[in-house]
Structure 1
Amino acid sequence: MKSLIILTALLSISLFSCAKETPQVKHKAHMSSSKENMKNVQVVNEEDPICHMKTAGFLKDTAVYKNKTYGFCSSYCKDEFKKILNNMPKNKQNNNKSKVIVPIAIFALLFLGIGIGMGYFKKNLYTVMKVPDFELTDQNNKKITNKDMLGKVYLVEFFFSKCPTICPVMNTNMKAIQNQVNDSDFGIISISIDPENDTPAALKEHAQRIGAKSPNWHFLTGDRAYIGKLADQFNIYVGDKEDEGESLNHSGMIALVDQEGNIRCRYNKDNMPILYYSGLNYEDPEGKTPRLNGKYHPDREILIEDIKKLLK
């Protein structure tokens, strides 16, 4: 996108420079003359532009050029003046048109750039960063690393199975995404922040209870301090394990990871990257007010769209 903006700016500057460096002249169509009533004619020039004689007292002919009346001491001088105008290079013509056309061209290019840019934002996803390295144990007692997920598009969330508030909502939305995407190259990484209770066996029971059918949906557990640092590397909030009141608090945000191990996201309506997606429900379709039993889940829909973009 940066290259597109620079190109548009350079084209605009180029057109503006051409307009400044090419002082264009309009002639022929705006040239007229008269030999009548020379004594009462007001002219803009004191000298004949050809012979340089004073026009006062010697005015014999006139010509209108660019809405101004010029005086000549003879028809010969007027004709020579017209010849000079007619022999000017073609690129020095149509000044009035250029004054209108150049700004229009500049604005057209700018709007074209904006239009292309809008299309870019709608069709392309922003690269946030490389996914942090991780190695944890899933519900089948299998070690799962970020390298194991290469070649797959997947989501990453932090949760715990006994969570009574947002985790069931997040799991429900993840299940809906799993069912709608239904692709062997798609996966989900759900990392427990309560590994003391979320053993592989407990996580396997949890996976069965919520309907996690995909073999690529891994519920991971491991050392709590390691998981806390991992959440920090993802820039997804998880409470400090040493703080009793905060240790099980966590964000409802979800990371989208592409096949090359990059965290990706879409752009918002202001063309700014959203970085992460919300796994929550809302009481409004715009996703402004979260509610556990809210009937709207706008980020679920856009996540499905963006997953499919990456799977293409």
Structure 2
Amino acid sequence: MKFKHYLFSAALIATTLSFTSCKETKKLPVYGQREAKEVKNADGTVSVDTVYQTIPAFKFLNQDSTYITNDTFKDKIYIADFFFTSCSTICPTMHRNMKEIFEKYKDNPDVMYLSHTIDFKYDTPSRLKEYAKKLGVDGPKWQFAYGSKDSVYKIAEKDYLVAVGEDSTQRDGYIHQGWLVLIDKEKRIRGAYDGTNKEQVAQLMKDIPVLLAEDKK
């Protein structure tokens, strides 16, 4: 299976890392589709505002067989990814690195994590529960989401801009990109980082406080 060219190409990520690491930059870029929209001001004048792509409303079962929705992440920033529990290629590395981020920010109530399984056949909530316990992150801060193939694959590719799919030619039967996608409190995409790359994961750790600081200005 050949992946389509998505927003988060290697070249764009390199540009992002350069942009966000600049000492003069105090705000992360916003990614995804955008459109100009006329807004009527209180004084009757009209101005043009930019409307950015956001993560839409969703409803998935988590590792505790409880439904989670957008409201689960209300007023939080979160890191999202797509994986499956039997993955023997990039997933173990992704989640080892993601756990390092988890440990660094585990005492910050404004930071959460959301891992969507793409294995709709095997990764039931009980299986995700076992996985979370084994990883040592079984709790409300890191949610593991299970849903139908259509619902998960659609939100991955259309909204998080991450390519996923079944592929019988692959050893594990699935193929996916290893992005860790940073989402702000307004549900906008603020960055994506290769979860298998230590340098990009380190950059993500640095970008989290930058994003958190936006709300304090």
Q: TM-score, normalised by structure 1?
A: 0.51
Question: Distance between the aligned counterparts of 1:263 and 1:301, measured in 2?
Answer: 18
Letter paired with 1:190: S
- Structure 1 residue 251 and structure 2 residue 177: aligned? yes
Asked which structure has the greater CA Rg, the reply is: 1
Aligned counterpart for 1:185 among listed residues 110, 120, 123: 110
Question: Distance between the aligned counterparts of 2:100 and 2:139, measured in 1?
Answer: 12
Q: How big is each residue's C-alpha offset from its partner over 1:143-162, in whole Å with a ceiling of 9 and x where there is no partner?
A: 11123212011001000000
Q: Give 1:1-312 correspondences, 5 Å limit.
A: 119-120=23-24, 122-128=25-31, 129-182=53-106, 183-233=108-158, 234-239=160-165, 241=166, 243-245=167-169, 248-265=174-191, 276-281=192-197, 297-312=198-213
SS of 2:202 mapped into structure 1: helix
SS of 2:143 mapped into structure 1: strand
Structure 2 residue aligned with 1:9: none
- The answer to whether the 8 A contact 2:61-2:146 is kept is yes
Deviation for aligned residue 1:214: 4.6
Q: How big is each residue's C-alpha offset from its partner over 1:254-302, in whole Å with a ceiling of 9 and x where there is no partner?
A: 210111211113xxxxxxxxxx211003xxxxxxxxxxxxxxx011111
Unaligned runs of 5+ in 2: 1-21, 32-52
Letter paired with 1:277: Y
Q: How big is each residue's C-alpha offset from its partner over 1:86-141, in whole Å with a ceiling of 9 and x where there is no partner?
A: xxxxxxxxxxxxxxxxxxxxxxxxxxxxxxxx554x32101113123321110011
SS of 2:88 mapped into structure 1: coil
Question: Distance between the aligned counterparts of 1:308 and 1:124, measured in 2?
Answer: 10
What is the Cα-based RMSD across aligned positions, in Å? 1.7
Higher percent of residues as helix: 1
SS of 1:141 mapped into structure 2: coil
Letter paired with 1:279: G
Unaligned runs of 5+ in 1: 1-117, 266-275, 282-296
- The answer to whether the 8 A contact 2:129-2:138 is kept is no
Question: Distance between the aligned counterparts of 1:253 and 1:132, measured in 2?
Answer: 19
SS of 1:249 mapped into structure 2: strand
- Percent identity of equivalent pairs: 35
Task: Give the ranges of 4+ consecutive aligned residues of structure 1 lying more than 2 Å apart after TM superposition.
Answer: 243-247
